[in-house]
Amino acid sequence: MMISKPTGMRYVFQPMFNREGKLIAVECLSRLDPLKHSGFAQVEQFFRAASPHLRQDILLEQIALVRRHQTWFHRNDVMVTLNIDEQTLMALDNEFVAECVNELGCLHFEINEFSGTLIKHSPVTRAISEKYSFWLDDFGAGYAGFSALAVQPFRFIKTDKGLLWSLFEKKNGQELMSSLLRFFSANQHLVIVEGVETPAHRQWLEEMPWFALQGLLWRECSIETLMARTPTPPPLKRVAEQ
């Protein structure tokens, strides 16, 4: 990866589990090193001040990290997602990056539903969207909503955590959430419900047709901890020829 210099960021992975409790994907997120980025209280504040070039270098660092550990992700059949925005999307408009990502096979990119770039019908964004796998992130945050689905063929959809929290508190919220997930399921979308923070959230969603759950109910961890906690399945034994 062509990175000008180390960004000083550290990276953690938030797990996503399917209905059987299997780890099926992780979201790679940036975290600040307090010794190197002491001027920022939160990572969101850092990214608001970061230059487009630095943001692109962080994305490339994340791709390189996944690339170094690709064997583990393939052996455990775990997908990895990275977040992109208006500034970092153009970093993907590179043949070398596209080749690396395609070789990995396990890497996907989350685009927020209020992104104006990816959902536009421009030749550049159409060309980029044909090279990569994009997930629609934060569905239900009150921005593009269903209009984003009309522009890009998102197979994976992540619902906004605020949607879960809001409906969880409403009298008819469970019925509304179930109807939304049934609609997505009927239209061949795989939904990851974000914001699962308590066993009560998990139980509330039990009978609904979601693909996976994500939230603070499960801790984020480093790549080393992730690999240590999830054992690699033993290789299949070859059956002796008769």
Q: Distances from the Cα of 149 to the Cαs of 119, 133, 195, in angstroms?
A: 9, 14, 22
Average pLDDT, the chain: 84
pLDDT at 238: 41
Domains of the chain: 9-229 (3.20.20.450)
User: What's the predicted TM-score (pTM) here?
Assistant: 0.86
Query: Counting Cβ atoms within 10 Å, is residue 200 exposed (0-12), middle (13-18) or buried (19+)?
Result: exposed
pLDDT at 140: 85
Give the C-alpha separation, 76 to 140, whole Å.
Answer: 31
Q: Distances from the Cα of 199 to the Cαs of 22, 164, 202, 209, in angstroms?
A: 17, 13, 5, 18
Give the C-alpha separation, 37 to 46, whole Å.
Answer: 8
Q: Where are the alpha helices (DSSP H) in 41-94?
A: 43-49, 52-68, 70-75
Decide: 36 and 18 in contact? Cβ < 8 Å. Answer: no
Per-residue pLDDT in tens (0 to 9) along the chain, 242 residues: 555 567 788 999 999 999 999 999 999 999 886 655 555 556 667 777 778 888 899 999 999 999 999 999 999 999 999 998 877 888 888 899 999 999 999 999 998 866 665 555 566 667 787 889 999 999 987 655 676 776 677 899 999 999 999 999 999 999 999 999 999 999 999 999 999 999 999 999 999 999 999 999 999 999 999 999 766 555 544 443 33
Give the C-alpha separation, 81 to 97, whole Å.
Answer: 15
